[in-house]
Each structure stands twice: as C-alpha cells, then as structure tokens.
C-alpha cells in the first residue's frame, strides 16, 4: 500500500514540476506530460508487482499513472495557474409588472 501511495504522490509532483517547464514541442501539454511522467515513474520507481510478467496489476498501474497525471494537470491548470476565469453572477433586470413596489 505504501508503494502505491508513494507512486501516486510521485506522479503528482512530477506532473506539477513539468508544468513549469515551457512546452516547445508540437504535442499538447495534456498529452505529453502524462506520457513523460509515466515513463519516468516506471524507470525510477518500477511497477507494483514483483515478477517480470504482465498481470492485472500492471493494467491498474498504467491507468492510475496516466489518470493521476492527467487530472493533476487539469486541476493545477484550472485552479492554480489560470485563475483568471471569472464566474459572473447572472442578475436579471426587474420586471415592472411583477415588482414588489406595488405601483
């Protein structure tokens, strides 16, 4: 369990780190960083099983690494890097026929 948690935290930190490096490639950042982070994670930490054979755990490993990196990028870009998106409150004009003033 510790190895899985450490892998997820490592993926989050690597994804955030690579967001600060300017992307000069022709690939979109949201595609390029998860691929790069997954390969670095596999090289540095390895995967979750003990043998060199494919198992069902490898499927969950790759899905969790790609998914964690993808959603980390979405959340970090949406709430930290680009908070310039403003939500405007909709204010409707007062209709004179239904106003509370009683005229």
Question: Domain limits at 59?
Answer: 2-81
Let me know: does 57 contact 48? Beta carbons within 8 Å: yes
Q: Cα–Cα distance between 73 and 91 in angstroms, integer?
A: 33
pLDDT for position 14: 94
Q: Establish if 53 belongs to a structural domain.
A: yes
pLDDT for position 39: 93
pLDDT for position 85: 46
Torsion 54-72-3-41 (CA) sign: positive
Q: Establish if 67 belongs to a structural domain.
A: yes
Q: Establish if 18 belongs to a structural domain.
A: yes
pLDDT for position 102: 54
In order, the DSSP letters of 22-74 are: ---SSS-HHHHHHHHHHHHHHHHT--SSSSSS--HHHHHHHHHHHHHHHHHHH
pLDDT for position 97: 55
- Residue numbers in the chain where pLDDT is lower than 70: 80-103
Q: Cα–Cα distance between 34 and 26 in angstroms, integer?
A: 15
Domain count, the chain: 1
Q: Establish if 28 belongs to a structural domain.
A: yes
Q: Tens digit of pLDDT for each residue in 30-47?
A: 889 999 999 999 999 888
Q: Establish if 87 belongs to a structural domain.
A: no
Q: Establish if 88 belongs to a structural domain.
A: no
Count of C-beta atoms within a 10 Å radius of residue 12: 18
């Amino acid at each position: 369990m510790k190895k899985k948690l450490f892998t997820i935290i490592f993926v989050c930190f690597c994804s955030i780190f690579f967001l600060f490096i300017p992307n000069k490639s022709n690939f979109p950042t949201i595609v390029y960083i998860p691929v790069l982070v997954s390969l670095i994670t596999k090289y540095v930490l390895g995967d979750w099983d003990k043998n060199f054979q494919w198992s069902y755990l490898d499927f969950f490993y790759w899905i969790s690494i790609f998914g964690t990196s993808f959603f980390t990028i979405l959340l970090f870009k949406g709430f930290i890097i680009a908070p310039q998106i403003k939500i405007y409150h909709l204010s409707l004009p007062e209709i004179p026929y239904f106003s509370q003033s009683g005229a």
